[in-house]
Amino acid sequence: MRLRTDDDIYRARLVYLGPPGYTLPIQLSYAHYGVFALLVPLFILMHGLINLALSARFRPDLFPAWEISLAMVATSLIFRYVDPDRPARMVVRTALTDWRRTREPRTEHRDPRLVAAHVRIREELA
């Protein structure tokens, strides 16, 4: 008898395929679009702040090509680590936590654990 797992909900992805009759060549979930839509204004704001800090006059670009491309790359990097057990917000939170503070190296020395899981005992015939 074969038991079915309850993992079917994890395999279901909400995917926007494009307008009817004109499907997109890629399949992106709604979460991809949301993260991308949040990252583009963030990168535009960061670009504007860098321009203000570097020069006295601020000239906004007509088309934010660099910001859109950076948002695409960042979205793909974020979703490389996303799975059903680790949502995108946890990936971003982990990256920000690791960037802000790291652990100090452990100074204590611990002996390795010895596990006898693969030890076989044979009786020898004399």
With cut-offs at 50, 70 and 90, classify the pLDDT of residue 107.
confident
Residue bearing the bigger pLDDT, 71 or 115: 71
pLDDT of residue 11: 59
Residue 8 scores a pLDDT above 70:
no
Average model confidence (pLDDT) for the chain? 79
pLDDT of residue 14: 73
- DSSP per residue, the chain: --PPPSTHHHH---EE--STT---SS-EEHHHHHHHHHHHHHHHHHHHHHHHHH-SS----SS-HHHHHHHHHHHHHHHHS-BTTB-HHHHHHHHHHHHH--PPPP-S--PPPP--SS----PPP-
Residue bearing the bigger pLDDT, 123 or 80: 80
> Comparing 54-63, 64-73, 77-86, 94-103, which segment has the lowest mean pLDDT?
54-63
